[in-house]
Amino acid sequence: MNGRAVSVAPGVYEVDLTSGERIRVAFGEEGRRYDQVRLQEELRVAQASPQTAAQKRKIQVLNRALRGLAQESGMQKTAVTGSTCNFPFTLDGGYTPKLVGGDTWGQASIGKDVGFSPPPPSYPGRSAYTYVATKAFPDQAEAYWDDDGPYYIWGVLGTVRTSAVVNCGSAVWDCYSWESFSYVREYGCTAGYRSINRTN
């Protein structure tokens, strides 16, 4: 861009031409996130507007664009996967920025929906839990929070799952602090506990 580009955000550069045209170029993962947040805000505004035929078409287009910008496995790429003694598990959590505020989220799952071979007389117990919290301001006395579980399965097949999400509100551009904590547990297994804790 002939050295005239100005950085407007991490991974995003912009040039204003004398014709009045503005060219914005995004690079890498930071650029992808910038475009994703920008389109999510456009979608929010479109959904809040009167639903004319043109507005419905715009919502369709924005949804398709956002599908292409999502990370692998949708918006929430699993951070930790593995197995305890008998069961596969997944754990994840983090923070998704928005143009105003942001979402802190977490999820956990452990279990199996297909029987072992040969099947044992009863399946080991397992549980999952998720907790999320966020603050909009440094002097905020209480965090906004949400949790899910703990949920348990004993003696039968199946997968136990938890998920939670909390937003720090529309009063700030970005959340001041956030925390996401999730765990899974298989009972009677010495290596049966796993957790993930993410904070800023």
The confidence score (pLDDT) of residue 60 equals 81
Single pTM value for the model = 0.62
Same domain, 111 and 17: no
CB neighbours of residue 95 within 10 Å? 20
How distant, in Å, are the alpha carbons of 19, 175, 179 from that of 105?
44, 13, 9
What is the band of 110 on the pLDDT scale with cuts at 50, 70, 90? very high
For the chain, how many structural domains are there in total? 2
Q: Which of 39, 69, 99 is the last residue of a domain?
A: 69
Name the pLDDT band for 166 (thresholds 50, 70, 90): very high
CATH assignment at residue 166 = 2.60.40
Render pLDDT for 53-94 as a digit per residue (tens, 0 to 9): 878 888 887 777 776 666 543 343 447 888 999 999 999 988
Residues 55, 105, single domain; the answer is no
Tell me whether residue 52 is in a domain.
yes
Confidence of residue 115 (pLDDT cuts 50, 70, 90): low
* pLDDT of 44: 84
**Which is nearest to 110 in space by CA: 130, 95, 94?**
130
By percentage, how much of the chain surpasses pLDDT 70? 86
Q: Which of the residue ranges 14-28, 97-111, 146-160, 179-193 would you say has the lowest mean pLDDT?
A: 14-28
Q: What is the pLDDT of residues 42-51, one digit of tens each?
A: 888 888 888 8
Residue 68 burial class via C-beta count within 10 angstroms: exposed 0-12, middle 13-18, buried 19 and up: exposed
Structure tokens at 56: 């419905």
Beta bridge partners of 21: none
For residue 102 the two structure tokens come to 């942001």
Q: In Å, how far are 136, 142, 177, 199 from 139, measured between CA atoms?
A: 9, 9, 11, 18
DSSP line for 50-76: ---HHHHHHHHHHHHHHHHHSPTTTT-
The one-character DSSP state at 120 is P
Residues 115 and 84 in one domain: yes
The secondary structure of residue 28, as a DSSP letter, is: H
Average pLDDT over residues 19-25: 72
pLDDT band at 3 (very low <50, low <70, confident <90, very high): low
- pLDDT given at position 39: 81
pLDDT value at position 120? 59
Half-sphere exposure of residue 47, counting CA atoms within 13 Å on the CB side?
A: 10
| Same domain flag for 178 and 111 | yes
- Give the rounded distance of the alpha carbon of 172 from its chain centre: 19
- Residue showing tokens 């551009």: 173
What was the pLDDT predicted at 121? 65
In sequence order, the β-bridge partners of residue 197 are 181
Question: Could you tell me the pLDDT band of residue 37, with boundaries at 50, 70 and 90?
Answer: confident
Domain residues for 165?
Answer: 80-199
Residue 96 and residue 56 share a domain: no
Longest dimension (CA), the chain: 77
Residues 188 and 114 in one domain: yes
Q: Is residue 1 part of a domain?
A: no
Q: What is the pLDDT of residue 98?
A: 74
Q: Are 140 and 163 in the same domain?
A: yes
Residue 105 has pLDDT above 80, yes or no: yes
